[in-house]
Amino acid sequence: MISFKMSPHQIQVKEVVHWFAENEMRPISLASDQHKRVPDEWLENINQLGIQLSTSSFGDSDSTSEESDQTEKRKKSERQGNRLAVIAAEELGWGDPAIALTLPGPGLGGPPVQASGTPEQKRRFMSIFSRDEPPRWGAYALTEPEAGSDVSGLKTTAVKTNGGYILNGQKVFITNGARASWVVVFAKVDQKSGRAGHRAFVVEKGTPGFSCTRLADKMGLRASETAELLLEDCFVPEENLLGGESYYEEKSAGHTGFRVAMQTFDNTRPIIAAMATGIARAAFEYTLDFVQHEYPKHGRSFHTASTILAKAQQEIDVSRLLTWEAAWKADMGKPNAKEAAMCKSFSGTISLGVCSRCLEVLGPDGVEGHLVEKLYRDAKIFDIFEGTNQIQHLIIARHLYEPLGVRV
């Protein structure tokens, strides 16, 4: 049975991250959105605090030190990195989701390196993210112009050559793609083999043939960097094939780049869901306070607003519980693809809905330049990235029908 009572350590993490969100993120939130960037000086100062949007920040992932062996031996019941990550992610989403995505660290590139990388690759690529080092970022490049929700259709190629691979292709909507020290890039070694031909490579910044061609101008998350990346005859050494060639030769284990991508989503979708929950909570709390102080305490308007906020509270609580279950299963080493899809889909939908209804309650006080208006714009992408709602529903449907022998 899952306990809904947070442990003292979980409460401490929540309080520390909330203090950070309230005192460090909120003061620069609207200005960062307006200027479409987070100040460099702020990032340099924050890097020393070591707060990142990943499970690795909370101690349960494979580390770059010898302690990783001890982590593997630890009882599953003692692991809580995924739960701590979603607790922290909700607070960071409450503070500012765009700034949260811009925090220095491996980002979405971290989970595939930790899950599939060799010990040497983990040490090499993860050791650069240190409080004692300048701010650095990792990134994750899967989406292409013609391969978004259906990632099995990616077109980027990887041709084996002496000592490595030649990569050619284009990647789009890559968070922190331009500033990243390295990017996990997915490509196909065989266009005819479908998903089995997928491979994951770590491409380092400055590699000849690897460039950022454009930074996207977005409706929401405007302070977060979203890049388009181009690979033109880009040579990637053999040692940068994530997991090494032997990893993909284990046919019985089903190791492919596609599997690496899907395993990554199972870990990151609950974090994204928690951020969406935090966005909804931020809009709800602001609007609740507004209604309490600005609306007449008796009358039709107050009753209508109160009903809207009551429904918002219900949706936020359900979203949180779905997310906690997905994170708990990940900590226990249990398959959580269905739960990750459920919480991601539900939280994205309710986040946008809560923000929309809060704007209606606020009326003229929620127009452009206002916190809730910004949260509304930010919330929309949570319906889309990390897999659209339609894809999440397909994943859920497969888990419903596969036990019955029906293929969806």
Enumerate the active-site residues: 386
**What is the Cα–Cα distance from 145 to 228, expressed in whole angstroms?**
10
Burial class (CB in 10 A: 0-12, 13-18, 19+), 134: exposed
Given the DSSP bridges, would you call strands 198-204 and 182-188 parallel, antiparallel or unpaired? antiparallel
Q: Please report the sign of the dihedral spanned by the C-alpha atoms of residue 44, residue 48, residue 51, residue 56.
A: positive
**Of the candidates 111, 129, 107, which has an alpha carbon nearest to the alpha carbon of residue 61?**
111
The CA R_g of the chain, rounded to the nearest whole Å, is: 21
Q: How far is CA 376 from CA 74, 220, 387, in A?
A: 41, 8, 19
Q: How many residues does the chain have?
A: 408
Q: How far is CA 125 from CA 128, 158, 180, 384, in A?
A: 6, 21, 12, 29
Q: How many CB atoms are located within 10 Å of the residue 293 CB?
A: 7
Q: How many CB atoms are located within 10 Å of the residue 65 CB?
A: 13
User: Residue 210: what are its φ and ψ, rounded to 5°?
Assistant: -115, 120
**Of the candidates 343, 351, 337, which has an alpha carbon nearest to the alpha carbon of residue 382?**
351
Burial 179-205 (b: 16+ CB within 10 A, else e): bbbbbbbbbbbeeeeebbbbbbbbbeb
Helices 371-379 and 337-362 cross at an angle (nearest 10°) of: 150
